[in-house]
Amino acid sequence: MSTTAEPERRDVLVCIKRTPAVGARIALTDDGLAIDTRHLGFTMGPHEECAVEEAVRIAESHRAAGGTARVTVLTVGPPDAAEQLRYAISMGADEGVLVEVPTEELDPEPTAASILAGLRSAPDTRYDLLLFGTDSAVAGNAQAGIRVACALGLPMVAGVKGIRFDDSGLELRRGTPAGIEIYRVPLPAAVGVKEGINVPRYPAVTGRMRARKAPLRTVPGEPAAGGLRTVALRRPREDRPETVVLGSGAAAAPAVVDVLAELGVV
Amino acid sequence: MTTPPDRADVVVIGAGIVGNSLAYHLAERGQRGIVLLDKGPLPDPGGSTGHASNFIFPVDHSQEITALTLDSMRQYEKFGTLTTCGGIEIARTRERVEELHRRMSSACAWGVAAELIPPGEVARRVPFLDPSPVLAGFWTPSVGVVDPLRTGALMRERAQELDALTVCASTEVLGIDTADGRVARVRTDAGDIETGTVVVACGVWSPRIARMAGVALPLTPAVHQMIDVGPIPELERTRCEIAYPIVRDMDALMYERQSGPDLEIGSYAHRPILHEPDEIPSIAAAALSPTQLPFTEEDFDPQLEQALELFPEILSRPGAGIRHAINGLLSLTPDGAPLLGPVPGADGLWSAAAVWIKEGPGVGRMLAEWMTEGVAEIDLHGADVARFGPHQRTPAHVRARASEGFNKTYGIVHPREQWAGDRDRRLSPFHAAETGLGAVFFETGGWERPQWYESNVGLLDEFAGRISHRPHEWDARWWSPIIDAEHLAMRERVAMIDLSAFTQFEVAGPGACGYLQQLVVADVDKPVGRMVYTPVLAPNGGFRSDLTVVRLAPDRFRMITGAADGPRDLAWFDAHLPAGGGVVLTEVTSAVCTVGVWGPRARDLLASVTPDDVSAEGFPFGRAKWITIAGSPVLALRVSYVGDLGWELHAPFEQGRRLWDELWAAGGPLGVVPAGIGVYGTTGRLEKGYRLMGAELDSEHDPVEAGLALPRVKAADFVGKDAYLRAREQAPAATMCTLAVDDHTGADGTHRVPQSGEPIVTADGARIVDRRGRPSVVTTAGAAPSLGRHLLMAYLPPERAVEGARLAVRYLGHDHPVTVLRVGRRPVFDPDDTRMRG
């Protein structure tokens, strides 16, 4: 429930988003405002999948040390987003909250407002740690996490590729071109996780069985539009790569050397 | 990327296992100028060959499919891409144990080594399987896993070495141009190819490609779900692709196989999920590949539970996760069989679609034979793309039947099982009357035909003591003792049988006689009003069809053939129409209704409704005459497939109801009964030893073997004549025989009744095979109520084809003694045909 009064218990919230699983070429809807998802499956963003994995690992190590832990996964989306909540539960999360709104693609203000509505719906739960993907796979606004953190008055670090609990709270790491930045933040805190922090597990068969039966809590969201509008989407120009056959067998070796030299590899 | 040539002799579209195999076998047979196109990259262009589970269980109840599978296994082995691991089909229910006994019968029939094993033996062979839900296992040591992509690559290489093949990958077909009903050109995004022969080997895309040539292929893409769970330490330790037998959990409609460190689980249990060929994503737009669609977890969840029951430990190993999960696409057809052969409606267009990995190489070889020799070594009538009539090629029919068929993939399918979807498609004008008489309808070619009539239930008392009984539910399924009672009433009185489902053609024009002469064995140049029953042969001298030809006028003939065979016969006769005209071929099936009246009182019945002379002298056997019944013109044929006196009465379709009512009213005092196809197609036919296309007759057997060779050979040339003449000069390798079951007592002491498809074995249980390698198998089984016996028909080699010889039929694991009653055509009942000719 709370963190300071019961230090043996750890509550982690992970916010995820239902995202189309696209191929190399992305089809757009006729109005050009969205991805055409008629033939696509859905997943969660790669940063969020790492966040779920990180939360599950935190819970597992905490339990291994004798404590209790709970991982709650929350999404803001349509009823179909339950699929992503169940996937996270099959990876090892304990429970799911679906904050229901009509679409996957809200702009950042209602997304944050809806997450907060979800948190308010369980006023007795105090999370030690709120994990987000550092940004979402489709919109990439990188705003939902920071908006929630601000509203709750929590410290927030994004782009994080390392999380360690210590006596005073959290030690967070993130990479920069110059080296590694290390942050120390007190709990509770919000963290934007970046892909690469871990390698997410595949859901176990038993996990999937559990996820199938796990109850999800559904909460109404707050979808009223905020200030950011999608005007149009455009597919980047497709460069058809040209394939040049350099030859075959040993005779091709000099040409390969030339290419490598040109690339500065040798 | 290779630019396609301007011109090719054969263009094969689709570089999956089927297209590769076909190109290879065409090349091996001397064909040159072959172009193989695929819109995807090689070696895996993105079709079903690239994601299939790649295992092969050789035993199927269908001889045709088993033959294709065994041929394919030999080819995979030759290319070094077959890994034999064995396989077990397990039973969780008593009903499935019975089905596994049927599998044993089929294994024996087709010569595949197999064994029924107890649960402990299943667990010994698959040590990580929990045998507690298992009642029995069907162990097939030759089950294997293949690599179809590698096989395809090797086949392409070989064809290229022969300088026969140009391979164009990443080349999309944009159109197929036709000229005068014949394919002329394949248009691609890399240029056009002039060609007269195009093969559609495009798997789930085949209907889309065929439509470019203006024809419909009855195929729908459908989802088959599969997942990979791993890594599993026990499997990882084997350090190979597969070290343990594959398990088919038949009652759960699933399979589990090792795939390296993973356990792959596949399912045919989920709801049918059909797709449209045009809606399949492109290679670029697909997340995995076009035929690996997003996994829909909720459809698979019940299967996970079933898998956990069998593999509780390894599926719960820490660290083992669902690493791969797809809704893989495969091809379904209305009857589940492949679509092979020339496609009616576009000359030069061939189909090689709806083929599984286990049949791919064999299909390629057979199709190459068909394309170059005109016929394939394996009889392919069940897979002939021409077997579908127009309504069966519509999307509505395909979807209805494919949805229904999907869950039968691992199902227990009774040989007489009827489809539930898209029924009441073709109704005879007698249908309402038949419904009033409690007809139980079976479907053939879309036609609803009464199999028997519940209103005849009272006949069971009348003929008590002479009706066969089938105490076991399986034997009695889709059957009624009323059939026997209708049969006996026909033999004693007279019966009316609805035969409107016959396919009928008219052949007219100055060239009609010559045209028919070159396609059928019998001499049709007879006086007007005569008819002949004749084989129609394939170029190898095997059966293509059998039918009745009636000469209506010097330049006009009526051909009557079976309902199921109609579309194939139409395609065959249409393909042989003379290019210069002079012959018009018209299908008149939907214009003509037919009722047969047979039995000792048939003449009394007919005489009471027609002013015309139907006396023995005025209307002899084997003649056709126009007569008037109830004011309607009726073509009456004095012929019989049930061996009794009587006529087929063919009337204008719209006047059929009047005809039926008139006969019915006049028949009342004569004790007329309505009789179903149970009598016409089985009991009556069997007593007379008449052969049925698709059962006794197929392209692997010739008229001499079938006992249908004619006394004289006509002078005119005809398709298959050379082979027919050769066959007449040799001792047949096998002869069609009629046998009777001597003891019905099954393994558990109950009375059992063989159904057809069972192997005939020697009295001491040895398999019987003729010198051409063809096994002796029951082609038709049924009661002979007049004789009080259960009869079987089967081809037997000369040393077994001896009247009075004692053999056995292996039914559900038990050998029932049988006696050979007849060798050849002479009927068991009324052998001199005195009733029919009276």
Q: And the tokens for A237?
A: 């120009």
pLDDT in tens, B579-605: 989 999 999 999 999 999 999 999 999
**Is A23 close to B322, i.e. CB distance below 8 A?**
no
Residue A3 has pLDDT above 70, yes or no: no
For residue B144, give the nearest of B94, B72, B250 by alpha carbon: B72
**Is A23 close to B321, i.e. CB distance below 8 A?**
no
| Three-state DSSP class for residue B795 | strand
Check CB contact of A210 with chain B, cutoff 8 Å: no
Check CB contact of A80 with chain B, cutoff 8 Å: no
pLDDT for B418 equals 97
Task: Provide the mean pLDDT of chain B.
Answer: 96
For residue B405, give the nearest of B264, B583, B268 by alpha carbon: B268
Mean pLDDT of B222-233: 95
Residue of B280, B301, B303, B305 best to disrupt the A interface, most CBs of A under 10 A: B301
The shortest C-alpha distance from A83 to chain B (Å) reads 8
The shortest C-alpha distance from A235 to chain B (Å) reads 13
Check CB contact of A109 with chain B, cutoff 8 Å: no
Q: And the tokens for B497?
A: 């049988």
pLDDT for B681 equals 97
B85 by Cβ neighbours in 10 Å (0-12 / 13-18 / 19+) ranks as: buried
B25, B51, B101, B224: the catalytic one is B224
Q: Chain A contacts of B42, Cβ < 8 Å?
A: none
- Spatial contact of A194 and A161, defined as CB atoms under 8 Å apart: yes
Instruction: Determine the Cα angle at A136 with ends B279 and A122, to 5°.
Output: 110
Annotate B418-467 with DSSP letters as a single string: PP-SS-S-B--TTHHHHHHTTEEEEEETTEEEEEEEGGGGGHHHHTTTSS
The Cα B295–Cα B406 span in angstroms is 18
Q: And the tokens for B751?
A: 């009375």
Tell how strand B34-37 and strand B10-13 pair up. Answer: parallel
Residue of B322, B327, B329 best to disrupt the A interface, most CBs of A under 10 A: B322
- Spatial contact of B153 and B169, defined as CB atoms under 8 Å apart: no
pLDDT in tens, B388-433: 999 999 999 999 999 999 988 889 999 999 999 999 999 999 999 9
Residue A2 has pLDDT above 80, yes or no: no
Asked whether residue A38 is domain-assigned, the answer is yes
- Spatial contact of B114 and B103, defined as CB atoms under 8 Å apart: yes
Q: Chain A contacts of B287, Cβ < 8 Å?
A: 21-23, 40-41
In percent, how much of chain B has pLDDT > 90?
94
The Cα B364–Cα B369 span in angstroms is 9
Residue B157 has pLDDT above 60, yes or no: yes
Asked whether residue A26 is domain-assigned, the answer is yes
The Cα B436–Cα B429 span in angstroms is 13
Query: pLDDT-derived band of residue A4, with 50, 70 and 90 as boundaries?
Result: very low
Mean pLDDT of A79-100: 96
Which of A86-107 are b and which e, b meaning 16 or more Cβ less than 10 Å from the residue's Cβ?
Answer: bbbbbbbbbbbbbbbbeebbbb
The shortest C-alpha distance from A28 to chain B (Å) reads 11
**Is A24 close to B307, i.e. CB distance below 8 A?**
no
pLDDT for B1 equals 64
Q: Answer yes or no: B422 catalytic.
A: no
Asked whether residue A1 is domain-assigned, the answer is no
In percent, how much of chain A has pLDDT > 70?
96
Interchain CB contacts (distance < 8 Å): A and B: 68
Residue B683 has pLDDT above 70, yes or no: yes
The shortest C-alpha distance from A16 to chain B (Å) reads 19
Residue of A26, A36, A38, A202 best to disrupt the B interface, most CBs of B under 10 A: A202
Q: What is the domain range of residue A44?
A: 9-263
| Three-state DSSP class for residue B838 | coil
pLDDT in tens, B42-77: 999 999 999 899 999 999 999 999 999 999 999 999
Mean pLDDT of B437-450: 97
**Is A23 close to B293, i.e. CB distance below 8 A?**
no
Asked whether residue A3 is domain-assigned, the answer is no
Domains, chain B: 10-47+151-218+335-400 (3.50.50.60), 80-146+220-330 (3.30.9.10)
**Is A202 close to B322, i.e. CB distance below 8 A?**
yes
Check CB contact of B294 with chain A, cutoff 8 Å: yes
Q: Chain A contacts of B304, Cβ < 8 Å?
A: 205, 208-209
Side by side, which strands form the sheet with B543-553?
Answer: B531-537, B543-553, B556-561, B503-508, B584-587
Mean pLDDT of B276-302: 87
Check CB contact of A46 with chain B, cutoff 8 Å: no
Of A25, A204, A209, Cβ closest to residue B321: A204
Residue A234 has pLDDT above 90, yes or no: no
Annotate B501-514 with DSSP letters as a single string: T-EEEEEESTTHHH
**Is A204 close to B295, i.e. CB distance below 8 A?**
no
Check CB contact of B278 with chain A, cutoff 8 Å: no
Check CB contact of B263 with chain A, cutoff 8 Å: no
- Spatial contact of B478 and B414, defined as CB atoms under 8 Å apart: yes
Asked whether residue A2 is domain-assigned, the answer is no
**How many Cβ atoms sit within 10 Å of the Cβ of residue A179?**
7
**Is B301 close to A212, i.e. CB distance below 8 A?**
yes
Q: Chain B contacts of A206, Cβ < 8 Å?
A: 308, 315-316
pLDDT for A77 equals 96
Q: Residue B255, Cα to own-chain centre: how many angstroms?
A: 25
Of A83, A204, A206, Cβ closest to residue B297: A83
pLDDT for B329 equals 94
Asked whether residue A255 is domain-assigned, the answer is yes
Mean pLDDT of B503-515: 98
The shortest C-alpha distance from B762 to chain A (Å) reads 51
Which of residues A38 and B116 earns the better pLDDT score? B116
Mean pLDDT of B358-381: 97
Of B281, B295, B315, Cβ closest to residue A205: B315
Annotate B517-586 with DSSP letters as a single string: HTT-SS-----TTBEEEEEEE-TTSSEEEEEEEEEEETTEEEEEE-TTTHHHHHHHHHHTS-TT---EEE
Of A22, A202, A208, Cβ closest to residue B287: A22
List the single residue in A with minimal CA-CA distance to B263. A205
> How many domains is chain A built from?
1
pLDDT in tens, B240-261: 999 999 999 999 999 999 999 9
**Is B281 close to A26, i.e. CB distance below 8 A?**
no
- The torsion of the CA quartet B449, B451, B455, B459, rounded to 10 degrees, works out to 140
pLDDT for B769 equals 97
The Cα B686–Cα B790 span in angstroms is 10
CATH number at residue A257: 3.40.50.620
**How many Cβ atoms sit within 10 Å of the Cβ of residue B797?**
18
The Cα B69–Cα B59 span in angstroms is 8
The shortest C-alpha distance from A176 to chain B (Å) reads 31
Q: And the tokens for B299?
A: 């459809």
Q: And the tokens for A77?
A: 């989306």
pLDDT for A1 equals 39
In percent, how much of chain B has pLDDT > 70?
100
Mean pLDDT of B706-719: 96
φ, ψ of residue B671 in degrees (nearest 5)? 75, 30
Q: Answer yes or no: B224 catalytic.
A: yes
Query: pLDDT-derived band of residue A5, with 50, 70 and 90 as boundaries?
Result: very low
Asked whether residue A148 is domain-assigned, the answer is yes
Check CB contact of A57 with chain B, cutoff 8 Å: no
Q: And the tokens for B340?
A: 């092979």
pLDDT for A246 equals 80
ipTM surpassing 0.90, yes or no?
Answer: no
The Cα A102–Cα A110 span in angstroms is 12
| Peptide linkage before B711 cis (omega within 30 of 0) | no
The Cα B223–Cα B268 span in angstroms is 9
List the single residue in A with minimal CA-CA distance to B279. A39
Q: Answer yes or no: B51 catalytic.
A: no
Asked whether residue A208 is domain-assigned, the answer is yes
Mean pLDDT of B292-307: 90
pLDDT for B284 equals 82
Check CB contact of A205 with chain B, cutoff 8 Å: yes
pLDDT for B285 equals 83
B71, B475, B546, B565: the catalytic one is B546
Q: Where are the alpha helices (DSSP H) in B293-389?
A: 297-310, 360-373
The Cα A119–Cα A125 span in angstroms is 8
Query: pLDDT-derived band of residue A6, with 50, 70 and 90 as boundaries?
Result: very low
Q: Chain A contacts of B295, Cβ < 8 Å?
A: 41
The shortest C-alpha distance from A71 to chain B (Å) reads 19
Check CB contact of B322 with chain A, cutoff 8 Å: yes
